[in-house]
Every structure is written in structure tokens, then in C-alpha cells.
Chains A and B, each alone.
Chain A
Amino acid sequence: MNVELTASLSPAVFVPAPSAFDLDVAFGITVAIKVAFILALFLVVPLVVGYMEHKAMGRLQHRRGPVAAGPFGTLQLVADGIKFIQKEDVIPAAADRKVFALAPGLALVPAILVFLVLPFGPGVWAVDLELGLFYALAISSVSVLGVMMGGWASANKFSLIGGLRAGAQLIAYELPLILAAIAVAVQAGTLSLVGIVEAQATFTLPGTDLNLWFVFPQILGFVIFFLASLAELSRPPFDMPIADSELVFGYMTEYTGIKFAMYLLTEYAGMVSMSALMVVLYLGGWQLLPGVGLPGCEGAGGMFDCGWLGAIGGVVITLAKILILTFIMVWARVAYPRLREDQLQRLSWLVLVPLSLINLAVIAIAKVVVF
């Protein structure tokens, strides 16, 4: 490619959208605030989702769910955490002790890192990376290394098979996930997650003033992304790496106490971050309804440059959407039986991958011709 061609093809230089945490203070303080924000999100929202899962599963199975700890059982998971931290740590004599102890950490840390780029409301994000979407997808698939390490280090046949299945599941479902996400990037013309929210707030159906979220033109992509993220998270009906009826408890068979709790926390944090990603990519971010802006917001379809009222409203809307999506995940867990391992692979390679490529082709042609 010659110089002239390169120059004329390069898009405008990316300017990251400023976060509300970018105060006029030293870099160290800004980073400390952002890290505290991310860790607070990471430690609180998954617990809320976990409580919702307890209650929703209970009701769907004609039980009441937790009722004893705190009002309506709301402190159940806090009580569980206190219990877990006092539990004896049993490491089997045959296991590889170092890898066994490190594995839950390697699964946990990437689950925290995804929250770096997720926008939760106007200005409420830590960092707006130019490669935000790519970063989120890449980091979220690192957790499986911790799962495979744990499965191998346990020196248990069930754990080993569970770990290998987790790896196989990731390689099968990473593709539909990333291909569906690329179709969103085509339509938005950016990989920045904040930029994608803005693109949705300003996207109108060609020839009309009707504002639409990307879920409407890309309903196929949304369904593919939802199924693939369920599989990436090993959530039922795609929980073959755990498969309690065949593999005891899969890669977690030998884990007890706090290390087991770390794997569970990883799973719930993954549910939150994947749901947040779906909200950003398909469901309009912090927009209440298509075409409806937030109070006190000026920029891009009434979604940016907000006062504190708009910011809080935006965060509440995002969290509500996340809770709805995670509820659907729980609902799927209760409603459907687990797939067989070969059915899982076939569903991905012969159905989801071709469909996501068709989706990408349709969106790319539509982007050039219509949008």
C-alpha cells in the first residue's frame, strides 16, 4: 500500500471520551479512584446477581429461596462469604500444590480486568480504550486458562476432563462471539465501547427520524452473542465443564472453601460483564428507550455531557438491563437440560459460525448501501 493510500484511508485520530473520574488531580489519585470504582463494582454487582439467581431459581422451582440471612435473605451471599473464608483448605496429596493455588487467581484477575472498559452510564467508565471491544473479548477469554490449570493441577480424572472441556468450549464459542461483535463494529464504525453507545444513540432508520438500537437490525447477532456468552461462561445449558451428573463437579471437584468461592465469583462476575457488554453492543447502553434521552444530558441524542442526575439515572438503567439479561440466563438454566459434548461442538461449528458470518455479510452490505 503506497503512502497516499495509507494517508487517505486512515480515520480521524481517536480521542478517548473523558471519564467522570478524570479529575484535575495527580495521575496516581485518578488511578486510585478508578481502581476503587472497578473493585467496588466487581465485589458488589456479582453478589446482587447471585442473590437474584438464588431467589429466581427458587421461585421458578416452587421454593422460596434464601429467607433467613438478613431481610428477605438478602445477606445470604455475604454470610456464604464469611463462611467460605473460615473453611479449611484441603489440597489433595496428589495435586500440584503451586498450580492448584494459583489457578483460581488466574481465573479471577481477568474477570476484574474486563470491568476496565465497560461503560455503565454517562461518564461512568474507567477508561475509554480505542480497542475497547477487542480488549473486552480478549481479556474475558483468559479466565479459561485458570480453569484449565485448576483442572490439570487437581490430578483428578474428572477435573482433567472438565478442564479440557472448558478449553474446547472456549475455542468453539469464541468465534461466533467475536464474529457477532465484529458486525456491531461494522455498523458503529468503531471499537470503542463508549463510541458504540454513542453510535446507537445517533443511529436512525434510513429515511426516517426513528432512533433504533443495534438489537433491531442485528437480532440474529444478538441471539448468537447471547448463546455464545452463555457457553463461554459455562452456564447451563452449556455447563459441560462442570456437568455434575457425569463429572462430579468438573474442574472444581477437588476445590474447597475460599478457592472454590473464587471460581464462583469469577462465574458471576463473568455473567455481569458479558451482560454489560450485550447492553453496550445491542441494547443502547444507558438509554431508557430508543430515542429517549436522559434528564440533564446534552450531547449525542441526550446521552452524554450530563449532570449528576443524568449520570445516576444512566447507571440505574444499565444495571437494570444487566439484571434482566442475567435473569434470562438463570431462566435458561432452569428451563433447559444440558447439551451433550458433541452436540455442543456441532451447534457452534455447523450452526452459529455460518449464521454469524451471514449476519456479518448482511450488515456489511447494509452499512455500505443503506446506513
Chain B
Amino acid sequence: MSFGEQYGTLAILVIAGSVLYAIIMLLNRVMRPSVPTPQKLTTYECGVDAAGVGWSQTSIRYYVFAFLFVIFDVEALFLLPWAVIVGDLDATTPISPTFAIVAMFLFVGTLLEGLAYAWKKGVLTWE
């Protein structure tokens, strides 16, 4: 299969999956009863009337983790092509395997240093 045919199959599968969801929803619409009452449509909150609105502000304690995630996820993207090629390197290639491994260790090590700093600063533990 060519490149276009492979990803064409993916595109058609996306459409097929969406159509499957639409069909299931349609089938449900045809077969279900619909008797809404005001009590039934209230927001659930422990059996009492909901206090305030559901979209209230919450303290996301883990936003620091989100920063760390972006850093390491970009690193993972760099690691993928490196991973495929590192086994093919030998003395005849312009880059030696030792160089490839040391370079990647320096890169990962720099990022790990950042993680260690965040750990030492205590942002990874909750009070």
C-alpha cells in the first residue's frame, strides 16, 4: 500500500467511526421514551439543590505538572527518531554510536536536572 492509501484508510476509518456513533445516537432517539420533568433535569449534588453553578473556579494544584509535561513530551518527540536510528550506527557512519548516546544523555540529563530542581523546591508535593 502506498503512503496515500495508508492514510486514506485512516481518513475513511475516522468517518466510519463518526457515522457509527451517529447511528447509535439515532437508534437511541427512535427507541427511547422522553418524559423530562424539572426535577429530573436538575444538576446532581448529593440529593440537595446545587449550590452556585457547576462551572465554579477550582484550584488546579497540578498546573506545575503541566509545565513539566510539555518539556518532557517535546523531549520524547526528539527521542523517537533517535531511537529508530541509534542501532544502525557503527564505526563506518559519520556519527559514532558513542557520540549519539552521549549527546542524548546530555540532553535528557539537562531535563532531569530541571525535574530534580522542581522536586527539591517542593512543588511536586502537596500540602
Residues of A near any B CB (own CB < 8 A): 4-5, 8-9, 11, 16, 18-19, 22, 27, 31, 34-35, 38-39, 85-95, 101, 104-105, 108-109, 112-113, 116, 126-127, 129, 134, 152, 154-161, 164, 168, 171-172, 174-175, 178-179, 182-183, 185-187, 189-191, 248, 253-254, 257-258, 262, 342, 345-346, 349-350, 353-354, 357, 360-361, 364-365, 367-368, 371
- The answer to the question of B48 belonging to the interface, with a C-beta cut-off of 8 Å to chain A, is no
Task: State the Cβ distance, B101 to closest chain A Cβ, in Å.
Answer: 6
Interface members, chain B 1-49 (any A CB < 8 Å): 1, 5-6, 8-10, 12-14, 16-18, 20-22, 24-25, 27-29, 31-36, 38, 40-46
Provide 29 A-B residue pairs closer than 8 Å at the C-beta atoms, listed in order of the A residue.
Answer: A8-B93, A35-B9, A39-B20, A86-B31, A86-B32, A88-B34, A90-B36, A93-B38, A94-B50, A105-B18, A108-B21, A109-B17, A109-B18, A113-B10, A127-B10, A152-B55, A154-B43, A156-B44, A157-B45, A160-B55, A168-B66, A172-B65, A182-B79, A189-B87, A191-B80, A350-B119, A357-B108, A364-B104, A368-B87
Contacts A171-B69, A185-B80, A360-B79 aside, 4 further interface pairs with beta carbons under 8 A come to A113-B17, A160-B56, A258-B32, A345-B62
**B14, B29, B97: which contacts A109 (Cβ < 8 A)?**
B14
What chain B residues lie within 8 Å of A161 (beta carbons)? 58
**By DSSP majority rule, is chain B's interface helix, strand, loop, or mixed?**
helix
Q: Which of B22, B38, B65 gathers most chain A CB within 10 Å?
A: B65
Docked CA distance A34–B46 (Å): 47
Task: State the Cβ distance, B95 to closest chain A Cβ, in Å.
Answer: 7
Task: State the Cβ distance, B117 to closest chain A Cβ, in Å.
Answer: 13
Say whether B32 contacts A93, CB under 8 Å.
no
Task: State the Cβ distance, A126 to closest chain B Cβ, in Å.
Answer: 7
Q: Which of B24, B31, B33, B56 gathers most chain A CB within 10 Å?
A: B24
Say whether B44 contacts A248, CB under 8 Å.
yes
Is the interface on chain B under 10, 10 to 19, 20 to 34, or 35 or more residues? 35 or more
**A39, A157, A158, A361: which contacts B105 (Cβ < 8 A)?**
A361
- Cβ-Cβ contact count across A and B, 8 Å cutoff: 213
- The answer to the question of B113 belonging to the interface, with a C-beta cut-off of 8 Å to chain A, is no
Known: A16-B1, A160-B55. A87 touches B32 (CB 8 A): yes
Docked CA distance A152–B85 (Å): 42
Nearest first, the 5 A-B pairs at minimum CB distance are A155-B54, A171-B69, A105-B21, A109-B17, A93-B41
Docked CA distance A34–B66 (Å): 38
